[in-house]
């Protein structure tokens, strides 16, 4: 079993010391007239669950070994650019950052590492800041997001993935092209006025050619990429355990994780290492 919410505390106690906890990060925001508000959360949960299951069972493509647990998804994110559409629930960047810092601090009491699996682009900056702060406190935490080509929002890419995962919640008669200009062209106005100013339907792209086959290919590629990330995390855990064995005298207790204010990780030049640059 990999789902944390379905386990008892005694289940967790028997495996948590070496466990990696995956925390899916989504959003509740408009995804055009054809996709549900929880699209990002559905995708994040599916990818995290599939990767955890494959990594934990040694399935083909999973070189990582150990215990991988999946936390309940965080269904709210920083979605202010979508707030002109009914149903969008945004908590803003500061709240996302604070929640992630506190969740990881709490999880770190019992698990060895945490991986934030984010499938909402608006969470990128608060996730990066949270990871940076938590690493400064000595915690092993990383962030991962799918690297999919294609359109920006509720277009062919996301629609294909939803058709593969949950076709019953894709309203096919409402599928229609939205604003298809490149995101870089739209970004200044989008940031200033929101998504609705550039796309009345909320779609940035063209979902009309979305297929379940393409969605499964995108999912498989994302899961494979996350498995490689988990393998790097397990390697970091083994390296950390080896360092502890060499540095902690027999019979001594290892020092607890350092608290807020611990020194930043720095490069040989003395510059702080960003979450994107630092290895797990």
Instruction: Pull the structure tokens for residue 185.
Output: 């062209």
Quote the CA–CA distance of 178 and 189 in Å, as a whole number: 16
Chain centre to alpha carbon of residue 159: 19
Listed as ranges, residues in the chain with pLDDT below 70 are: 1, 57-65, 241-280
Nearest Cα to Cα of residue 260 among 168, 144, 148, 134: 134
- pLDDT for position 242: 66
DSSP structure class, residue 278: S
Query: pTM for the complete prediction?
Result: 0.84
Q: Do residues 231 and 64 touch, judged by C-beta distance below 8 A?
A: yes
Burial class (CB in 10 A: 0-12, 13-18, 19+), 5: exposed
- pLDDT for 150: 83
Instruction: Name the nearest CA neighbour of 227 among 74, 88, 56.
Output: 56
CB-based burial of residue 33 (10 Å sphere; 0-12 exposed, 13-18 middle, 19+ buried)?
middle
Percent composition of the chain: helix, strand, coil (DSSP 3-state, to 5): 45, 10, 40
The reported pLDDT for the residue numbered 267 is 36
Whole-angstrom Cα Rg for the chain: 20
What is the distance in angstroms between the CA of the first residue and the CA of the last residue of the chain? 25
The answer to whether residues 264 and 217 touch, using CB atoms and an 8 Å cutoff, is no
pLDDT score at 252 = 40
Domains of the chain from N-terminus onward: 4-149+222-247 (3.40.50.10310)
The 10s digit of each residue's pLDDT in 244-260 is 555 444 444 333 433 43
Q: What are phi and psi of 157, to 5 degrees?
A: -65, -60
Find the DSSP H helices in 108-211: 124-136, 156-165, 183-193, 195-198
Q: Are 158 and 148 in contact (CB under 8 A)?
A: no
């Amino acid at each position: 079993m990999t789902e944390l919410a379905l386990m008892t505390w005694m289940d967790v106690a028997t495996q948590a010391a070496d466990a990696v906890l995956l925390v899916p990060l989504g959003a509740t925001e408009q995804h055009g007239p054809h996709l549900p508000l929880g699209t990002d959360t559905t995708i994040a949960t599916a990818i995290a669950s599939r990767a955890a299951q494959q990594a934990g069972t040694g399935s083909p493509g999973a070189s990582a070994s150990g215990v991988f647990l999946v936390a309940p998804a965080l269904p709210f994110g920083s979605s202010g650019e979508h707030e002109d559409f009914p149903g969008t629930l945004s908590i803003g960047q500061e709240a996302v950052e604070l929640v992630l810092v506190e969740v990881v601090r709490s999880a770190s009491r019992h698990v060895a590492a945490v991986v934030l699996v984010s499938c909402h682009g608006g969470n990128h900056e608060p996730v990066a800041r949270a990871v940076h702060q938590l690493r400064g406190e000595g915690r092993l935490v990383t962030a991962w997001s799918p690297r999919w080509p294609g359109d920006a929002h509720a277009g062919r890419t996301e629609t294909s993935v939803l058709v593969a995962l949950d076709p019953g919640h894709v309203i096919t008669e409402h599928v229609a092209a939205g604003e298809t200009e490149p995101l870089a062209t739209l970004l200044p106005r989008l940031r200033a006025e929101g998504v609705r100013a550039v796309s009345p339907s909320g779609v940035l792209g063209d979902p009309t050619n979305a297929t379940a086959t393409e969605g499964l290919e995108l999912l498989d590629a994302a899961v494979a990429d996350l498995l490689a990330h988990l393998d790097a995390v397990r390697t970091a855990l083994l390296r950390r355990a080896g360092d502890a064995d060499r540095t902690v005298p027999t019979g001594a207790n290892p020092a607890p994780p350092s608290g807020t204010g611990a020194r930043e990780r720095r490069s040989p030049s003395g510059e702080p290492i960003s979450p994107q640059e630092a290895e797990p």
